[in-house]
Amino acid sequence: MKSLFQTCPRTAVLVALLLTTSALTVRAQDPRIQLTALDHLSPRASETVDVNIDERLIQLAAKLFNEKDEDEAQIKKLVAGLKGIYVKSFEFDSDNQYSSADIESIKSQLREPVWTRLVNVTSKREGNVEVYVSLVGGNINGLTVLSAEPKELTVVNIIGPVDLEKLARLEGNLGIPNLGIKSSKKNKDDQ
């Protein structure tokens, strides 16, 4: 007895095409940026930060936060649902220690239709900052910040549902550097 695929090669081709397309769609929606292309910069850097916190470690860290401490309770709420936090940052003693090819190795991963650039700040003296979000069905499922200054290169990649309003509160925690994100809500300290 012949299988369906032997009697109808067109069905086999369609099934293979559907399987390939669905696999590519899943990969295309993955907001994880590969940062290993920047590893060669470590020997040139005076300071290197490399943070790799996957979902398992986020859940473990969240358990350690004290619910009675207001700041820690807020951080615990903010990281709920995140799948990963990845940071690569290099600080150099002199300018031009990284190349445009290094920046392009990251930017090439931040292309449409998955990624949308929200912010692009360019300064000849201070460098460039770009903020990208990954959208699936109108919801943010990832965020990447690329900051290229004359003596510093930083990439922050956060995987999972990201509330930009709440992200400002994560700065300085879990390896996320100060990104200069301003919250539209006033903090208690600002009042």
At 89-128, the pLDDT tens digits run: 999 999 989 999 999 999 999 998 889 998 898 988 888 9
Contact call for residues 153 and 38 (beta carbons, < 8 A): yes
Q: What proportion of the chain, given as a percentage, has pLDDT over 70?
A: 70
The pTM assigned to this predicted structure is 0.71
At 123-159, the pLDDT tens digits run: 888 889 999 999 888 888 999 999 999 999 999 999 9
Interval 18-43 mean pLDDT: 69
Interval 47-51 mean pLDDT: 95
Query: Does the pLDDT of residue 189 top 60, yes or no?
Result: no
Supply 75's token pair: 């951080």
74: confidence class by pLDDT, cuts 50, 70, 90: confident
Across the chain, where does the E strand assignment appear?
47-54, 84-91, 115-123, 127-136, 139-149, 152-159
pLDDT at 24: 36
Interval 23-41 mean pLDDT: 75
pLDDT at 80: 80
Supply 25's token pair: 């769609």
